[in-house]
């Protein structure tokens, strides 16, 4: 029973990180119908920015904020310089561009910061809390992780549902041509979508590093799990991203816990294949039959 | 005044518009008629900037629209209601409407415009919180039209507003359009296959055939001349 509780708590924490990555992928998919394979690597780069600042004795919170802002800028920059030029070509071209960016970012990070594993001290303990006499698999940092991802999710939801900018983003995602005819500057909206996605990706990077160390491809597995979560949620739904993230987090935690850590990645692929076979649209997609 | 001069638009090697020229005076309705494939939709899409012409120009208020971005043409006060209505089904009725005036600075007037649209199309008022997906064909047309009016446009480009609607609903919509031009001096370019109902409210008629203007005259002249009607419009 104690093991089960531990695996569950662990699964929830990791699930929130996968949810953040899934959210980033969903944001970009909704706007541009592209899966951004460089999403994890972009988060890795901004996490290196944070680590470099902390190395120079700058406070964690300043470094954390700078990394998120760096994500915002990096996301916008990638959209304007790399994605915009191939916008009207086949979607495959843009996907290959993101794969190229993934390799370029990981190689550049290795050149600039070196390939060794680096630790990233968080201001919270990563040692599990004590309940009574036994230690549980929930550390103060885990609580911070859950809270931070939830805050970003709620923030994005409020942005989408309650603001004019969010209305523009939804219109541009569903009907770009109609949105333009109503005066929405769709190009700017897409840039904003990539920027916000990169913030969510950077958050995931910052939250992964204290537990898994930081190295140039430390986000590879996280991206695969986040991608599986996004597919599970339907790739179109922010709520689906959150639930998908939690499902993947829990499933992998149980698989890894009971069957051994080596089976985790295989578990993710099994889930991915089963979902694609059983419900290719994901669990949370509302597929409205379109009427003319 | 909206002036279209020697406008030619091509899709690859296919010429969809061939040196089309005519003018639409402020506060009047021009019906653009013709069979399927005559170039009616292409004409509207070229005016609103969605497709670029091969040659010729479109001027409105001293601006050459063929050099402007779609989003900037909207800001000149030209609203285009596309074919198939372009209602965004994933959004609510009110979100669709609000979208129409988001680019305008005047928030107070946008709220006023919203109430006016609900007054003009009462069925929308009762469904403001519902997803646009749940609307009937006639209600969708009202929503698309209402959304265009949210921008308080000076010119309205309408692509087949009667498509798929019952005759009674079409008559209602046409009546509303006539009312609008009289009240607000709005200029309307009305693309229609339903020539009879379009001529009933238009001042001027343009008949296109294979991308060329084959007839340009007063709407009343075309409607009153059985030979013209029969030859060009088939009724």
List, for residues A87-113, the tens digit of each pLDDT value: 888 888 999 999 999 999 999 999 999
Give me the pLDDT at residue A33, please: 85
Q: CB B91 to CB A171 under 8 A?
A: yes
**Token code pair at residue B156:** 């309205």
Q: CB A292 to CB B84 under 8 A?
A: yes
- pLDDT tens series, chain A, 292 aa: 788 988 999 999 999 999 999 999 999 998 888 899 999 999 999 999 999 999 999 999 999 999 999 999 999 999 999 999 998 888 889 999 999 999 999 999 999 999 899 988 888 888 888 887 788 888 999 999 999 999 999 999 999 989 999 999 999 988 999 999 999 999 999 999 999 999 999 999 999 998 888 999 999 999 999 999 999 888 888 889 999 999 999 999 999 889 887 888 788 888 888 887 877 777 666 554 443 3
Interface test with A, best of B44, B65, B71 (most A CBs within 10 A): B71
Q: Residue B44: closest CA among chain A residues belongs to which residue?
A: A181
> Residue A47 belongs to what H/E stretch?
helix A39-55
Residue B48: list chain A partners with CB under 8 A.
181
Q: CB B91 to CB A178 under 8 A?
A: no
* Residue B123 burial by Cβ neighbours in a 10 Å radius (0-12, 13-18, 19+): middle
pLDDT of residue B191 exceeding 70, the answer is yes
Give me the pLDDT at residue A60, please: 94
Closest CB to B99 among A182, A290, A292: A182
Closest CB to A183 among B50, B103, B164: B103
Q: CB B82 to CB A170 under 8 A?
A: no
Q: Residue B76: closest CA among chain A residues belongs to which residue?
A: A183
**CA–CA separation, A254 vs A261, rounded Å?**
10
The structure's pTM equals 0.86
Q: How far off is chain A from B164, nearest CA to CA, in Å?
A: 9
> Residue A135 belongs to what H/E stretch?
strand A134-135
pLDDT digits (tens, 9 = 90+) for B195-220: 888 999 999 999 999 999 999 999 99
Residue A290: list chain B partners with CB under 8 A.
89
Q: What does the H/E/C string look like for chain B? A: CEEEEEEEEEECCEEEEEEEEEEECCCCEEEEECCCCCCHHHHHHHHCCCCCCCEEEEEECCEEHHHCCHHHHHCCCEEEECCCCCCCCCCEHHHHHHHCCCCCCCHHHHHHHHHHHHHHCHHHHCCCCCEHHHCCHHHHHHHHHHHHHCCCCCEEEEECCCCCCCHHHHHHHHHHHHHHHHHHCCEEEEECCCHHHHHHHCCEEEEEECCEEEEEEEHHHHHHCHHHHHHHHCC
Q: CB B80 to CB A181 under 8 A?
A: yes
Reported residue count of chain A is: 292
Residue B103: list chain A partners with CB under 8 A.
182-184
Average pLDDT, integer, range B62-70: 95
**CA–CA separation, A2 vs A11, rounded Å?**
14
Cβ partners under 8 Å of residue A80, min gap 6: A191
Q: Look up the ipTM and state it.
A: 0.92
Q: How far off is chain B from A162, nearest CA to CA, in Å?
A: 10
H helix runs in A90-214, sequence order = 91-113, 140-162, 164-174, 176-181, 186-212
Closest CB to B95 among A167, A183, A290: A167
Q: Is the dihedral of CA B39, B40, B46, B51 positive or negative?
A: negative
Q: How far off is chain B from A226, nearest CA to CA, in Å?
A: 25
Q: What pairing do the DSSP bridges indicate for beta strands A130-131 and A134-135?
A: antiparallel
Q: How far off is chain A from B28, nearest CA to CA, in Å?
A: 22
Reported residue count of chain B is: 235
pLDDT of residue B146 exceeding 90, the answer is yes
Q: CB A177 to CB B50 under 8 A?
A: yes
> Residue A131 belongs to what H/E stretch?
strand A130-131
Which of these, B116, B148, B99, B112, lies nearest to A163 by C-alpha position? B99
Residue matched to tokens 């499933």: A251
pLDDT digits (tens, 9 = 90+) for A58-82: 999 999 999 999 999 999 999 999 9
Mean pLDDT of chain B, nearest integer: 92
**Token code pair at residue B198:** 């379009």
In chain B the first and final C-alpha atoms are separated, in Å, by 31
Closest CB to A171 among B71, B88, B133: B88
**CA–CA separation, A269 vs A260, rounded Å?**
16
CB pairs under 8 A between A and B: 66
Give me the pLDDT at residue A247, please: 93
pLDDT of residue B109 exceeding 60, the answer is yes
Q: Residue B101: closest CA among chain A residues belongs to which residue?
A: A182
Give the HSE-up count for residue B77: Cα atoms under 13 Å, Cβ half-sphere: 15
Cα diameter, chain A: 65
Residue B50: list chain A partners with CB under 8 A.
177, 180-181
A42 within 8 A of A78, measured Cβ to Cβ: yes
Closest CB to B86 among A167, A181, A288: A181
Chain A interface residues (partner B, CB cutoff 8 A): 164, 167-168, 170-171, 174-175, 177-186, 288, 290-292
Q: How far off is chain A from B89, nearest CA to CA, in Å?
A: 8
Q: CB A180 to CB B70 under 8 A?
A: yes
Interface test with B, best of A30, A181, A288, A289 (most B CBs within 10 A): A181
Cβ partners under 8 Å of residue A251, min gap 6: A11, A267, A271
Q: CB B80 to CB A175 under 8 A?
A: no
**CA–CA separation, A25 vs A29, rounded Å?**
6
Give me the pLDDT at residue A129, please: 84
> Residue A134 belongs to what H/E stretch?
strand A134-135
A102 within 8 A of A41, measured Cβ to Cβ: yes
Interface test with A, best of B91, B99, B158 (most A CBs within 10 A): B99
Q: CB A288 to CB B164 under 8 A?
A: no
In the DSSP assignment, the letter for residue A82 is: I
**CA–CA separation, A212 vs A215, rounded Å?**
9
């Amino acid at each position: 029973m104690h093991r089960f509780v531990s695996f569950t708590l662990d699964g929830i924490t990791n699930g929130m990180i996968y949810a953040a990555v899934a959210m980033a992928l969903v944001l970009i998919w909704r706007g541009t119908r592209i899966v951004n394979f460089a999403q994890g690597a972009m988060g890795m780069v901004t996490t290196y920015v944070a680590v470099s600042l902390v190395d120079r004795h700058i406070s964690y919170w300043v470094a954390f904020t700078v990394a998120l802002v760096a994500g915002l800028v990096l996301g916008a920059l990638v959209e304007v310089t790399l994605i915009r030029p191939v916008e009207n070509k086949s979607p495959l071209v843009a996907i290959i561009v993101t794969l190229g960016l993934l390799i370029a970012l990981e190689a550049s990070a290795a050149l600039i910061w070196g390939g060794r594993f680096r630790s990233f001290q968080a201001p919270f303990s990563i040692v599990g809390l004590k309940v009574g006499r036994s230690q549980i698999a929930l550390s103060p940092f885990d609580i911070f992780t859950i809270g931070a991802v939830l805050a970003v999710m709620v923030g994005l939801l409020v942005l989408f549902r309650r603001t004019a900018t969010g209305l523009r983003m939804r219109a541009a995602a569903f009907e770009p041509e109609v949105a333009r005819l109503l005066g929405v500057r769709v190009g700017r909206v897409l840039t904003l979508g990539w920027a916000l996605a990169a913030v969510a990706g950077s958050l995931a990077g910052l939250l992964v590093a204290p537990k898994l160390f930081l190295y140039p491809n430390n986000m590879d597995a996280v991206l695969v799990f986040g991608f599986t979560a996004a597919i599970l949620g339907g790739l179109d739904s922010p709520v689906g991203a959150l639930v998908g993230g939690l499902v993947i987090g829990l499933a992998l935690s149980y698989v890894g816990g009971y069957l051994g850590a080596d089976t985790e990645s295989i578990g993710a692929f099994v889930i991915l294949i089963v979902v694609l076979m059983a419900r290719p649209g994901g669990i949370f997609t509302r597929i409205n039959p379109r009427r003319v | 005044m909206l002036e279209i001069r020697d406008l030619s638009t091509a899709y690859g090697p296919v010429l969809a518009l061939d040196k089309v020229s005519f003018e639409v005076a402020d506060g009047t309705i021009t019906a653009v008629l013709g069979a399927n494939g005559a170039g009616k939709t292409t004409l509207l899409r070229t005016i609103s900037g969605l497709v670029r012409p091969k040659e010729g120009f479109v001027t409105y208020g001293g601006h050459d629209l063929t050099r402007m971005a779609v989003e900037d043409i909207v800001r000149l006060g030209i609203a285009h209601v596309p074919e198939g209505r372009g209602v965004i089904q994933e959004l609510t009725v009110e979100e669709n409407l609000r979208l129409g005036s988001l680019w305008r600075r005047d928030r107070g007037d946008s709220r006023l415009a919203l109430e006016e649209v609900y007054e003009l199309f009462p069925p929308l008022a009762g469904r403001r919180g519902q997803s646009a997906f749940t609307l009937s064909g006639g209600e969708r047309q009202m929503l698309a039209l209402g959304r265009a009016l949210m921008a308080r446009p000076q010119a309205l480009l309408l692509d087949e507003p009667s498509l798929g609607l019952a005759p009674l609903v079409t008559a209602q919509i046409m009546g509303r359009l006539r009312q609008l031009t009289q009240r607000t001096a709005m200029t309307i370019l009305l693309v229609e296959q339903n020539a009879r109902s379009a001529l009933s409210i238009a001042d001027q008629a343009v008949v296109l055939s294979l991308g060329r203007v084959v007839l340009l005259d007063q709407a009343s002249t075309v409607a009153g001349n059985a030979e013209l009607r029969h030859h060009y419009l088939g009724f």
